Amino acid sequence: MSRVYMKGNEAIVEGALRAGLEGFFGYPITPSSEIIEGLAERFFADRERERRGEKPMYPKFRVFLQMESELASINAVMGGASVGCRVMTASSSPGISLKQEGISYIAACELPCVIINIMRGGPGLGSIQPEQGDYFQAVKGGGHGDYKLIVFAPNSVQEMAEHTMLLFNLTDKYRTPGMLLADGYLGQMKESMEFPDVPIEEYEKPWAATGMGDRETQNTIEFLFLTPEPMVEAKTRLLQKYKQIEANEVRYEDYKIDDAKILVTAFGTPSRVAKAAVDQAREKGVKVGLIRPITLWPFPYQVYADLTTHQIDRVLVVEMSFGQFVEDVRLGVEGRAEVKLYARYGGIVPTEKEILEKIMELV
């Protein structure tokens, strides 16, 4: 397969279109704006083609709209998902905070959609530099109520495309929203890549509110109960679904762990830096390996548990925040190993040298 050179945000655009994106609703914010711009460019180029009587390049991509706010964007996504279409929105940290109300409703109503978060520095207006401070918000539920998002954490431009495509399939499969959680570095950087081949999985959506047509029964997209019993029933169904996702969809990458005594773990941009640091430590004879969660929810707790049961007694967590991801690692490790945190926050990507030093401290 031939290699292409692409920006992370553009890879998301290409991935979404190849996955059969039908509607996009968004609001500009740095460092994710290339997504809304890239989709606008392709959408309006297709309208020009139609005007000239030519075939559109992306016949499925019928609706693009820059909305008046992040709230309107996520609610338009809710509308599009309700009528059974593949829809997406994209933003960065402060914008994702604004979307949380809608995300909670979408999860409650079991609507599939893809939400892209190109993380920047926070809290508040923060900075436009890369951070990973939205980890809790993404994996623990940033909106109100019990719910989960399928969260993918790419660490390369190629995975930006691949995970976007996977998310469209998985969110349709499970009828639940999903988030691509990448940092500003991954959105802004360009990289050589091979375009991933993720086949589109088509799912019937008999539940969609498309107008009754030939149906005798109403399809209503809602999650409102006046008494506890039906709500218990509905939430139990949600919980069972989440358990099914936890059982089937955990993904992670392991690297040189077979004989490792020390484990380094990170997700997103720091994970590729950590991988290079692992190689450098190996050159010095240190038996060190890497676990990189690819799905942040469902989280690969089991692999941490297994590795720390007999093999590994020291774990180094590298992340670009005060330390959020580390809490899930600790839940996996459950006290069986010493867990050290190397937290680089404020918009600075940890270097290979720094991580190597931290590894050597554990030797």
Partner 1 sequence: MRVSALIPKYPEPETYMGHTHYCPGCGHATLHKLLGEVVDELGIRKRVIMIEPVGCSVLALKYLKFDGIQGPHGRAPAIATAVKRLRPESIVITYQGDGDLAAIGTNEIIHAANRGELFTVVFVNNAVYGMTGGQMAPTTLLGQKSTTTPTGRFAEFCGYPLRVCELLNTLDAPVYLERVSLFDVEHILKTRAALKKALLNQIEGRGFSLVEVLSNCPTNWKMTPEESWEFVKNEMTKVFPLGVFRDK
Partner 2 sequence: MKTEIIIAGFGGQGVLFLGDLIAYCAMKEGKYVTWVPSYGPESRGGTCNCQVICSDQLIGSPAIVHPDVLIVFNQPSLYKFLPRLKTNGTLLYDSFLIKELPAREDIRVVGVPAFQISKMGNMVMMGAFLAVTKGIKPETVYQTLEEKLTGAKAKFIPVNKDAIEKGIKYISDKSLETSNE
Residues that bind partner 1 (CB under 8 A): 22-23, 25, 62-63, 65, 67-69, 71-73, 75-80, 82-83, 85, 87, 101-102, 105, 109, 209-214, 218-224
From the list 40, 65, 189, 360, which residue makes contact with partner 2 (rule: CB under 8 A)? 189
Q: Which is nearer to partner 1, 105 or 304 (CB)?
A: 105
User: Site map for partner 2, 330-349, x if CB under 8 A?
Assistant: -------------------x
Single out the residue of 128, 138, 149, 179 in contact with partner 2 (rule: CB under 8 A).
128
Question: Rounded to an integer, what distance in angstroms lies between the CA atom of residue 261 and that of residue 143?
Answer: 39
Sign of the Cα pseudo-torsion (351, 320, 291, 197, in order): negative
Cβ–Cβ under 8 Å, residues 147 and 173: no
Residue among 266, 316, 269 nearest 288 (CA): 316
Q: Which does 184 bind (CB under 5 to 8 A by kind): partner 2, partner 1, none?
A: partner 2
Q: Which is nearer to partner 2, 192 or 240 (CB)?
A: 192
Q: How far is CA 241 from CA 150, 175, 235, 247, in A?
A: 12, 9, 10, 10
Q: How far is the CB of 273 from partner 2 (least distance, A)?
A: 4
Rounded to an integer, what distance in angstroms lies between the CA atom of residue 314 and that of residue 204?
47
Q: What is the closest distance, in whole angstroms, from the C-beta atom of residue 162 to partner 1 in the complex?
A: 26
Nearer to partner 1, 69 or 236 (CB): 69
Distance (Å, rounded) from C-alpha 96 to C-alpha 132?
13
Angle formed at CA 183 by CA 299 and CA 164, multiple of 5 degrees = 65
CB atoms within 10 A of CB 138: 24
| Residue with smaller CB distance to partner 2, 273 or 333 | 273
Shortest distance, position 178 Cβ to partner 1, whole Å = 18
Site residues for partner 2, 217-276, by CB under 8 A, read 269, 272-273, 275-276
CB distance 157 to 186 below 8 Å: yes
Q: Does 37 bind partner 2 (CB under 8 A)?
A: no
